[in-house]
Amino acid sequence: MRVTREVVVTAAPTALWALLWDVPRMVACVPGCTEAREVEAQRRYAARMRQKVGPIALSVPLEVDILEAEPPRRIALRARGRDPVIGAEISMRVTLVCEPRDGGTALSIDADGQVLGKLGGLGHGVIQRKAEEAVDEFAARIASAASG
């Protein structure tokens, strides 16, 4: 599934860039992300993501690898993990691009991911919808965090 969104924030690109690398503030911006830590600065992170689809609760430890970082404009990352309890595997590639706009910054989000395992049996539509909700919520929280 792939979700693309754009959000305009009042912060300048450099300020938004700093926010994107601020682990505790990013944890608060990513829906379902309950913890995250730096493994290797600007290269590798470890995080945990919790999501619920109806009665099914998912808790996935994620390895996050930064694939590209071009300050203060572009980050590409890959996140992968597996919920050992229900056997769901998640992998996603996220690209964030910051462009100056009207004194603030336009952040474009491109998330492309896959869910494998029994959870996939719920259907592509259900998972796509969850992904869209999560990206929308992320965009809203970033906008609020970077416009304060």
Partner 1 sequence: MSGLRPFALHRPDTLDEAIDLLEQHGDEAMIYAGGTELLILLKAGLVRPRRLVDVKRLPRLREVAEAGDDLVIGATVAHRDVERSAAVRRRCPLVAEVARHVANVRVRNVGTVGGNLAFADPHSDLATLFLIFDATVELRGRSGARALALGDFIQGPYETARADGQILTAVRLHAWPAGTAGAYVKYGVYERPTLGVAAALFPAASGRPAELRLAAGCIGPRPQRLGRTEAAARGLDPRTIGERADELAALAAVEVDPMSDLHGSAEYKREMTRVFVRRALAVAAGRAQGAEAHARYAHTVVV
Q: Residue 139: which H helix or E strand, with range?
A: helix 124-145
| Per-residue binding letters, 89-128, with partner 1 (x by CB under 8 A) | -----------------------------xx-xxxxxx-x
Our finding on whether 85 is near partner 1 (CB under 8 A) is yes
Q: Alpha-carbon distance 92 to 81, whole Å?
A: 9
**Between residues 101 and 118, which has the closer beta carbon with respect to partner 1?**
118
**Angstrom distances, CA of residue 100 to CA of 72, 88, 94, 106:** 10, 38, 20, 6
Our finding on whether 129 is near partner 1 (CB under 8 A) is yes
Our finding on whether 148 is near partner 1 (CB under 8 A) is no
SS3 91: strand
Q: Judged by CB under 8 A, which of 56, 67, 101, 144 binds partner 1?
A: 56
